[in-house]
Structure 1
Amino acid sequence: MTQNLTAAHRIERLLEKHPKGFDLSLERISRLLEALGNPQDKLPPIIHIAGTNGKGSATAFARALLEAEGLAVHVHTSPHLVNWHERYRLGRKGETGQLVDDATLSDAVARVTEANGEHMITVFEILTAVTFVLFAEHPADAVILEVGLGGRFDATNVITKPAVSLIMPVSLDHQSYLGDKVEIIAAEKAGIIKRGCPVVIGYQSSDDARQVMIDIADRLRCAVSVFGQDFLAYQEHGRMVYQDESGLIDLPLPRLPGRHQIANAAAAIKAVREAGFALSDQAVEKAMTSVTWPARMQRLTQGDLIRFAPEKAEIWLDGGHNPGAGVVIAEALAELEERDPRPLYLITGMINTKDPVGYFEAFTGMARQVYTVAISSSDSGIDHETLADAARRAGLEALPVASVADGLKAIKEQVKDEVIAPRILIGGSLYLAGDVLAANNTPPQ
């Protein structure tokens, strides 16, 4: 095995060797994990999280809650935004977890690659095996494991006894892999439910999707907790109120912007409790004010890219990329508008597996102008001219531009005679969000 290669170099080699994309099955990763000694069976209690939208936020809240209690928490998320290391956060007792260092990640990738040999496999499966190796080799109190795609056949679903399975809001996304009805997608997400293990179902806009999950949990004899029925949260007098069978907690509003984050936080609180972890009211309060999650309504206030923006512009970055995400982002922007009215402009890039018209429709009547960009980091990006047409079909004014920097310059020119500085949302894709954070020189830490 070649020595002293960076983790990124090793992973790039894997991408050249193995097929790209998804091939939903558990056979290949199960074989690989067997060769590695089944590290997935040697982990501390696991909070396994699936969902179309909100699973990243729930992951962030769950981590903040456990760390506020002084626990060491390993966290797996995907995709990464700028660096592969973001997928692996290693917990430290009494401190916040840190992204894995390059030497440790490179070594783990090398060992997993060697164990796989010449077998056919996807790179995501190798990287998921790396998750289990890293987390098994470093002591911690808990693991938060975010599903990559779907649930039933996702590579993370080799775990047999999660401390809790949490299913966040489900809507149409990845239809070519998961199905074209929300009930079908709900059943795929509910594939992470294991017999006899606790289940928490977060807020669901679809009654049918929620019922599918409840039915599967009941069939597998799981204790199931449902948002709005067994636990709930709401905003009152500028505070967040959380309630379950244990009682009521009065909390500050979550640090993550948007009313939808109240439901996301509630699902995480319930999931952590159902996983068997005691949470003091003080720890929950601390978590609400300390939680961070990059590229989900992230305020950009400085960086190399921001210098192209209009003076005093308010700039937000969000990787949400489907109609359901569009709705909650638009609601979050509407809340900001109530407190601080500003003209809204969008800079948007998307990939071709998404529904751009459905995404843009959420902003009809809100956004003055959309500037569309191609995504340089993905060969699945929608051409910026085509994306502008989609925005127009949704009823928005749209112009294609060459880059996010050019979009910011165009907005600066457009608003030069206006008194009120604009609000700008850069979004539509996690690929775009990653490109922006890299170009801005503000990668996730």
Structure 2
Amino acid sequence: MNQRIIQNARIIAADEEFTGSVSVEDGIIRAVDRGNTSAPGAEDWAGDWLMPGLVEVHTDNLEKHLSPRPGVLWNAHSAMMVHDAQCAAAGITTVLDSVVIGDLDAGGARCQTQHTSIAALHQCRDEGLMRVEHLLHLRCEISAPDIMEVFNQYADDSLLRLVSVMDHTPGQRQWRDLKSYRRYSERDGRYSNEEFDAMIAQRKADQQAFALPHRQAIVKASAARKLTLASHDDTLLSDVALAVEEGVGLSEFPTTVEAAQAARDAGMAIIIGGPNMVKGGSHSGNVSAAELAQRDLLDIFSSDYVPSSLLLATFMLGSLAQWTLPKAVRTVTRNPARAIGMEDRGDVAVGQRADLLRVRMNRVGMPVVLETWLAGKRAF
């Protein structure tokens, strides 16, 4: 029997915060008690927070390591291991690695890394090299001509837990503002006006030809496999209505208050980016996470492109008048876990897997992960 007892910890449970002790045996939480314990060998956490490991359903962090510079493709196994280490250091114990399939840029980095990244995910898991648990989220660019061929290749992947349908055609959803789209598109190089206009025209032509039939096929195939479905960048009431009709349960990054409210009214879980909260707004000019939080239109934080944003955003959220720290912590633990059908993690509670964090506030008011534990074993 492998036993560990922690005492004098500031425990963040599902609905309350209190000082107490936690006992772990063989990777499972066996006891959660208020006050200190007299058990021999108990570790004194000196008032540091003890909270569940973070559950991440949408991160593009792996992409940064697969393509660290424009035109540079990195070894996928190396990229995966560094990404894994960053997740552990950020307190993420369950992560759905988001892999974009269907690249709007023919021959772009995503097109060239989609297969190698999924292969590296499996191989690193199989070899027991991962610090935390990695699963798969397929982000499906429905306007891409080649999306179905790639989707069908991975639809039955044993690690697949989430499928999102997205359409980044400029002029709608995330990219309603073409000036913002142009700034984003030119991050790796400039376009002439003629080149930019030609790209926009091609994007819209592809959308007209492929978006609807591809979306219908992916939704049908995912539903048949009982895979969790997410919509992406819902903007109009009609966007949410379509998702509801399709049986989609998650609304990722709604861009307007109206879309978020419609998602709430329909019983969809609302996912917002942690960087949006930390930075004080959306990088593409859409609704801010803080405004949605103040309206209680936020269920799940995603770290999106910065793993450390999850914990920062959570504590910022917990400081708002209408939020408590336990409620804020649920947005990065229990809520995302339950949204993808995982009942065994996300709470500091008896019977849960011992995915645990030790967190301390530093002198400048930033929460810092001191320790990360996966199923009772030290990951960071």
The alignment's TM-score, normalised by the length of structure 1, stands at 0.29
Comparing both structures, which one devotes a greater share of its residues to strand? 2
